Amino acid sequence: MRWAPPLKDAGCAALVALTLAFPLIGFQTSDAGVGFTTRFAWVGVAAVVVFVGRLLLGFAPQRFRLHQRGVRSTAVSDGKFVKLAAAALIVFAVLLPVTPLASRRSIDLATLALIYVILGWGLNVVVGLAGLLDLGYVAFYAVGAYSFALAAQWYHLSFWEMLPLSGMTAAMAGILLGIPVLRLRGDYLAIVTLGFGEIVRIVLNNWTAVTGGPNGVGDIPRPTVFGMPIASGAPVGVTTFNQFVGIAYDPMQRLIWLYYVALAVALAINWYSLHIRRLPVGRAWEAMREDEIACRALGLNPTTIKLSAFATGAMTGGFAGVLFAARAGFVSPESFNFQESATVLSIVVLGGMGSQLGVALAAVILATLPEFGREFAQYRMLIFGAAMVAIMIWRPRGIFTVRAPSVRLDRP
Amino acid sequence: MAYFLQQLVNGLTLGSIYALIAIGYTMVYGIVGMINFAHGEIFMIGAFISLIFFVVLGALGITWLPLALLLVLLIAMALTAVYGWAVERIAYRPLRGSFRLAPLISAIGMSIFLQNYVLLVQGAHEKTLPPMITGGFDLMQSGGFVVSVSWLQLIIVGVTLLLMAVFTAVIRLTPLGRAQRATEQDMTMAALLGIDVDRTISLTFVIGAALAAVAGLMVTLQYGVIDFFIGFLAGIKAFTAAVLGGIGSLPGAMLGGLLIGLIEAFWSGYFPSEYKDVAVYAVLILVLMFRPTGLLGRPEVEKV
């Protein structure tokens, strides 16, 4: 008798899957003209997969099932493992360019992964700590990248001058957007930030006189080493880094230098995020996330607290934007679409909102996933989407669940 | 004047489509209190199912237009409704009672999933459908400019008005409508009084998806070009419509839809059309900032 309910349940699920798959998988319309091909075998496959999956779920131990309603306590690991893993990760990151793994491709990819780590940590402050869902985070990334690209083009400012300035510009953009919208409730805020992100992209795309429109901005300078460029030859009066230390020029050196710069920025941001969380303002972020009304009753000003989180996140996004521009040497509006915001959000969600290590791991996985083959790249966003739903259902605190709560009250 | 009138006609057509999608947002928000971020993708799926069945029916030899239209309408509504039901069952129901942002994040995940699912199974290229309903009449002529109204535009506005009327009657008069209104006011109390809350919420999603399928069919007929990405923009615009009209309010969704359609049409007519989406986003931001209850909505009371 125990078999009957799960079987019936799985049968129903398979029937639904059949109905869902029938129109969209069963018929493939041709791109040109009016025609179609049928693929009914795949409809059957979909139904069987759903049947088996649902059946397995039906027999799974209780803790894997759905409907774990209500508040659950944050799982806390003892911290030792986390520290060890973090230390190992940092050592690996520092040594990467001298390991056999190092190649032009891998270092470039690692730099991209670090940019996503920085973006993830920045959005983590906004979503994970302060609980403000920002769907237009890519706007601040764009502000950082474009302010560097345009300042380099018009005023010949260097990477090191623009790194802090772009961060500040992005933070200002965050404050300017934040002042009017942070009074809004959680889900309205999400939609408004989404709209803001799209407005930034559309303006970048169409304001051709300043931003170059869809063609973007090119010739973005690479970071120098204490003012000395890494180059094979230099104009008169400029000492290159290679001449200074007396080693031959190799294009690899530029990549490695940018990689270390990105790593340094990432570690600085990590240090900052870990420390600010213990300061009153960081505590206020988390308190605000848990209960805004209680916070207001305790005399905290919601607007300034949210604004500080928003500005911190925006500034981090700006830093990431500068690194992105320096890595590619070129920026265009295409890089800053909603898909990018969604990717960063899924990094934060997958990594566990609020967990530094989890977000870093998720960012590295997401950035390197497409490298494992083109088929994988095709399924990437599909998997992200499904994973976001699954994580919200089973592990709302993220896969890795290593975030130590800042304050913990044990039940007697 | 003639140009103005033409934009008015175009805007009303577009607005009808937005209004149909907006109902799905507004109903779900009213009852569950969440933004069904995947609703735009449901609309996109409705458009795809319509297109696919037009082609399939054509191949089966059903070419008498009224019959084909009716069949496609019914099939698209039914199959899209199943999508709406499944989305609620999989991504939202397990999260009732979870923390605040959980359903929204899950909805975003669902939206990404559905978009890429259609991309994968139907391809990234635009799909085209040759015009089915052609012809129309000229409303007026002035200074060499002809204001024309196509039969299709009349059908779109007519069907929208009809569906709105039916739908309002359902909410006002039927037991289902009563259950929905009760659930909207107080979910726990409604459950205590014997209303099957889960079923009511499911039906809300089903109705919303069916209406979105109608909108999808209309877009397929009117513009003839669809791709996997149309749900994103249409979803945001319809959501803006729902917010503008007052989220949770049905007449508001209709009014908001028409207004957004008109704003978009007139902006494209008189200002640089690249910025027409910016105009809609700006309306969204301004309404949320200065009148979060919208035009017809009731103020929301924050409870502890």
**C-alpha B294 chain-centroid distance:** 18
Q: Is the pLDDT of residue A373 over 70?
A: no
* pLDDT tens digits along B174-230: 999 899 888 888 888 999 998 999 999 999 999 999 999 999 999 999 888 888 889
CA distance B118 to B46: 11
The pLDDT assigned to B147 comes to: 81
Residues of A in contact with B55 (CB under 8 A): 27, 29, 34-36
Name the residue among A23, A293, A381 with its Cβ closest to that of B112: A381
* pLDDT tens digits along B272-296: 888 888 888 888 888 888 887 888 8
Q: Is the pLDDT of residue A406 over 60?
A: no
Contact A385, A142 (CB under 8 A): no
Q: Is the pLDDT of residue A129 over 70?
A: yes
A401: which residues sit within 8 A by CB, 6+ positions away? A74, A75, A77, A352, A355, A358, A395
**Site of tokens 């969604």:** A342
* Interface size between A and B, measured as CB pairs under 8 A: 175
Cβ contact, residue pair A186, B86, below 8 Å: no
What would the mean pLDDT of A103-128 be, rounded to a whole number?
Answer: 91
Residues of A in contact with B35 (CB under 8 A): 187, 190-191
Residues of A in contact with B232 (CB under 8 A): 338
Q: What angle do CA A251, A253, A257 make, to 5 degrees?
A: 130
**C-alpha B256 chain-centroid distance:** 12
Calculate the CA dihedral of residues A319, A320, A322, A328 and round it to 10 degrees.
170
Tally of residues, chain B: 304
Contact B288, A184 (CB under 8 A): yes
Cβ contact, residue pair A187, B34, below 8 Å: yes
Query: ipTM, 2 decimals?
Result: 0.86
DSSP string of B254-266, one letter each residue: HHHHHHHHHHHHH
DSSP at B298:
P
Q: Is the pLDDT of residue A366 over 60?
A: yes
Of A103-112, A294-303, A343-352, A375-384, the one with minimum mean pLDDT is A375-384
**Shortest CA distance from A388: residue in chain B:** B109
Residues of B in contact with A191 (CB under 8 A): 35, 236, 239, 243, 284, 288
Contact A389, B88 (CB under 8 A): no
The pLDDT assigned to B300 comes to: 62
pLDDT over 70 percentage in chain A: 88
Cβ contact, residue pair A20, B83, below 8 Å: yes
The pLDDT assigned to A99 comes to: 80
User: Residue B139: phi, psi to the nearest 5?
Assistant: -75, -50
Report which of residues B292 and A155 the model is more confident about.
Answer: A155
Of A149-153, B33-37, B159-163, the one with minimum mean pLDDT is B33-37
Alpha carbon of B76 to those of A41, A98, A298, B220, B235: distances in Å?
22, 59, 53, 12, 18
Name the residue among A16, A71, A192 with its Cβ closest to that of B288: A192
CA distance A263 to B46: 46
**Shortest CA distance from A193: residue in chain B:** B285
The pLDDT assigned to A378 comes to: 75
Report which of residues A33 and A273 the model is more confident about.
Answer: A273
pLDDT over 90 percentage in chain A: 22
Cβ contact, residue pair B115, A186, below 8 Å: no
Among B116, B264, B302, the residue to mutate for chain A (most A Cβ within 10 A): B116
DSSP at B302:
P
- Could you give the 3-state DSSP secondary structure of residue A214? helix
What would the mean pLDDT of A319-340 be, rounded to a whole number?
Answer: 90
Alpha carbon of A377 to those of A137, A370, B120, B236, B271: distances in Å?
23, 4, 12, 27, 40
Residues of B in contact with A196 (CB under 8 A): 281, 285
Q: N- to C-terminal Cα distance for chain A? A: 42
User: Residue B111: phi, psi to the nearest 5?
Assistant: -65, -45
CA distance A386 to A378: 14
Alpha carbon of A264 to those of A53, A114, A373, B90: distances in Å?
45, 10, 30, 42
Please state, rounded to an integer, the average pLDDT across all residues of chain A.
83
Please state, rounded to an integer, the average pLDDT across all residues of chain B.
88
The pLDDT assigned to A73 comes to: 41
Q: What angle do CA B35, B116, B200 make, to 5 degrees?
A: 35
- Could you give the 3-state DSSP secondary structure of residue A1? coil
The pLDDT assigned to A70 comes to: 39
Q: Is the pLDDT of residue A409 over 70?
A: no
What are the tokens at A65? 């099932």
Name the residue among B35, B101, B110 with its Cβ closest to that of A131: B101
Task: Please identify, in words, the CATH class of the domain defined by B2-290.
Answer: mainly alpha
Q: Which residues pair with A29 in a beta bridge?
A: A36
Closest chain A C-alpha to B4 CA, distance in angstroms: 26
Residues of B in contact with A192 (CB under 8 A): 284-285, 288
| pLDDT tier for residue A371 given thresholds of 50, 70 and 90 | confident
The widest CA-to-CA distance across chain A, in whole angstroms, is 88
Residues of B in contact with A25 (CB under 8 A): 121
What would the mean pLDDT of B89-118 be, rounded to a whole number?
Answer: 88
**Shortest CA distance from B95: residue in chain A:** A393
C-beta neighbour count of A10 within 10 angstroms: 20
Q: Specify the amino acid at residue B269.
A: G
CA distance B116 to B222: 25
Contact B133, B221 (CB under 8 A): yes
Residues of A in contact with B117 (CB under 8 A): 24, 382
What are the tokens at B52? 């696919």
Cβ contact, residue pair A22, B79, below 8 Å: yes
Residues of B in contact with A342 (CB under 8 A): 108, 112
Cβ contact, residue pair B112, A388, below 8 Å: yes
What are the tokens at B166? 């039916």
Residues of A in contact with B292 (CB under 8 A): 184, 188
Q: What angle do CA A81, A120, A216 make, to 5 degrees?
A: 150
Q: What angle do CA B245, B251, B255 make, to 5 degrees?
A: 50
What would the mean pLDDT of A14-39 be, rounded to a whole number?
Answer: 82
The pLDDT assigned to A404 comes to: 52
Cβ contact, residue pair A190, B104, below 8 Å: yes
Burial status of residue A32 (CB atoms within 10 A of its CB: 0-12, 13-18, 19 or more): exposed
- Could you give the 3-state DSSP secondary structure of residue B136? strand
Cβ contact, residue pair B278, A24, below 8 Å: no
Closest chain B C-alpha to A149 CA, distance in angstroms: 24
Cβ contact, residue pair A382, B120, below 8 Å: yes
Cβ contact, residue pair A202, B275, below 8 Å: yes
Tally of residues, chain A: 412
pTM, whole model, 2 decimals? Answer: 0.86
What would the mean pLDDT of A350-377 be, rounded to a whole number?
Answer: 80
What are the tokens at B253? 């969704």
Closest chain A C-alpha to B144 CA, distance in angstroms: 32
What would the mean pLDDT of B24-29 be, rounded to a whole number?
Answer: 89
